[in-house]
Structure 1
Amino acid sequence: MWGLAGILAIALLWEGYKLVGPANGVEVGDLRIMPRTTDLAMPHVWDMLGRLFEPVTRADDALPLWAAVALAALTTLGIAAAGWLVGVVVGVGLALVMQRWRIAEWGLLPWIVLSQTVPLIAFAPIVKSWGSRIEIGAFEWQDWMSVALIASYLAFFPIAIGALKGLQSPDRIHTELMETYAAGYWQTLVKLRFPAAVPYLLPALRLGAANAVIGAVVAEVSTGLQGGIGRILIQFAGQASGDPAKAWGPIFGAIVLGLVAAGSVALLGVILSNYRRNEEHA
């Protein structure tokens, strides 16, 4: 309900500014702080929505724009899902190591934080170049694997931080109680630390899923991978001068894709409902 209200409010703001805003945008000196309101820069909302149901091209067998965007989004979603799974394994693994040994936390955590400062758009072509040289027997590195690896690079960070905070969340009295029961490390981890980490881990997994989609889209743009939504974003943006509403189709698709990815993690919350209590943000 509130989501629909938010979408409606954005549409009204869009049309309101387009109605009253200057054609050349709002400028302060030589700096434009608000966009132009021409149909080329800001198509009407109904034009953008209507364009979704028109063919992508004038060819007789051309798909509607929404169908082309949906197919591209499914391709990107599959790649992002693979990257998210890798990010979960790496993030939780690092959290376990840092929780187990404090010296590992001191040594790894600064580098984990520093890793997120690398500009992704410059890093993606390097990953593709390295991956193309990997050949192990009959195995050959595929271009989509580079995109999935970059998606995992963005996904693992919030998962590692959230999992670490969750694993460290049990009070001393609870850990001491496990010690009085002669519980070992693995028993304490399974019976106490993992259940305690769930309220921290679920929001981190949702954020990691959204980050994986962002990483996949950016990597598709940077590496030129065909078939994904990142590629058609660039392709349709190049056609915006003649068909401005068309360029917004993949933008809407990318937004829905991120929402679907983050919302899918909510299914884990249903499965782990006995452990959720109040979710905590890392």
Structure 2
Amino acid sequence: MVKRTAGSLALVASAAGAWELYKAIGSADGTSVGGVRVLPRADDAAMPHLWTVLHRLGEPELNGGAPIWEVLVKACLTTLGIVSAGFAAGALVGLALAVLMERSSFAERGLLPYVVLSQTVPLVALAPVIAGWGGQLMPQWATVSVIAAYLAFFPVAVGMLRGLQSPSAEAVELMDSYSAGWWKTLVKLRMPASLPYLFPALKLAGAAAVVGAVVGEISTGTRGGIGRLVIEYSREATTDPAKVYTAMLGAALLGLAVTGVLTLAQRLLIKEIRT
């Protein structure tokens, strides 16, 4: 645990050092190859110092208003609620699809290509469609939750399917020799065998749900969440670039928090199983 924490801190420190190093030696106009910019501009308008961004967190969002960190916390909590609903729905749909595809090879051949194909639809185009389907009956937050669920179900469905199919033929034959039916084999053999595949899939789903919620908030104009702050703060990019990075930092920390909660749940469940 200590080594992992030290490694994570070292990685963050390395990334911060690389940022400041490039800002010190990089060109203010960026680096171009063949007329195409391959590295960003290193001026303060495009890449503010990290300490400037951190200092901006403690300053008021508006004159006389609350500090930005407080605004970000409230926005992240709002988005977290949306992410939780979308993640739960997406995970349940993914689990159901995985069980169905494991149960029937016909269903697997028929559904799996469309499950993969579903992830090629641009979210920006999908959000207005979902909002149109919901109309006045679906609040904006529910629309965003559906978008989050749409991204979350895919890794769960694929990862869980692989996990359910992971037991060896000998283990399945042993269950058959005990006259165990499909349901008992699923519960006693396939489900436990799928745990090493399920939790990485859930972590990917959690991160995808955050991305879906942020993009959904931006696309639908949902107010109160971190996605809306990203688009609002980006309008001040030329005059207050550090403010833009505070919103992006908040979104990144939200994703890390969701992944951290899922990692903690994994460790607690594994500990419970071992005891």
Q: TM-score, normalised by structure 1?
A: 0.92
1:43 aligns with 2:48: yes
What amino acid is aligned across from residue 53 of structure 1 in structure 2?
G
* Residue of structure 1 equivalent to 2:141: 144
Q: Distance in 1 between matches of 2:198 and 2:239?
A: 46
Q: Distance in 2 between matches of 1:179 and 1:117?
A: 40
Of 78, 83, 87, which residue of structure 2 is paired with 1:80?
83
* Residue of structure 2 equivalent to 1:27: 32
Structure 2 unmatched runs, 5+ = 1-5
Of 57, 70, 81, which residue of structure 1 is paired with 2:73?
70
TM-aligned CA deviation for residue 191 of structure 1 = 0.7
* Residue of structure 1 equivalent to 2:270: 273
Cα 1:276–1:247 shift into 2, 3 Å: farther
TM-aligned CA deviation for residue 270 of structure 1 = 2.3
1:199 aligns with 2:196: yes
- The alignment yields a C-alpha RMSD, in angstroms, of 1.4
TM-aligned CA deviation for residue 271 of structure 1 = 3.4
Of 204, 216, 221, which residue of structure 1 is paired with 2:218?
221
- Per-residue CA deviation, residues 20-73 of structure 1 (Å, 9 max, x unaligned), is 1111111223211111111111111110111101111112xx111111111111
Cα 1:163–1:37 shift into 2, 3 Å: same
- Per-residue CA deviation, residues 149-201 of structure 1 (Å, 9 max, x unaligned), is 00000000000001100111111111111111111111111111100111110
Pairs within 5 Å for 1:45-194? 45-59=50-64, 62-133=65-136, 140-194=137-191
What amino acid is aligned across from residue 77 of structure 1 in structure 2?
L
Q: Secondary structure at the match of 2:241?
A: coil
TM-aligned CA deviation for residue 207 of structure 1 = 0.5
TM-aligned CA deviation for residue 274 of structure 1 = 5.8
Q: Distance in 2 between matches of 1:4 and 1:274?
A: 26
* Residue of structure 1 equivalent to 2:229: 232
- Per-residue CA deviation, residues 228-276 of structure 1 (Å, 9 max, x unaligned), is 1000000001012111111111100111111111111123312331698
What amino acid is aligned across from residue 108 of structure 1 in structure 2?
L
1:255 aligns with 2:258: no
Structure 1 unmatched runs, 5+ = 134-139, 278-282
Q: Secondary structure at the match of 1:179?
A: helix
Q: Distance in 1 between matches of 2:267 and 2:237?
A: 42
Q: TM-score, normalised by structure 2?
A: 0.95
What amino acid is aligned across from residue 227 of structure 1 in structure 2?
G
Q: Distance in 2 between matches of 1:188 and 1:274?
A: 23
Q: Distance in 2 between matches of 1:153 and 1:19?
A: 42
Q: Distance in 2 between matches of 1:216 and 1:88?
A: 15
Structure 1 ranges of 4+ moved more than 3 A: 274-277
Q: Distance in 2 between matches of 1:165 and 1:246?
A: 43
The structure with more helix, counted as a fraction of residues? 2
* Residue of structure 2 equivalent to 1:4: 9
Identity %: 50
Contact 1:196 1:275 in 2 (8 A): no
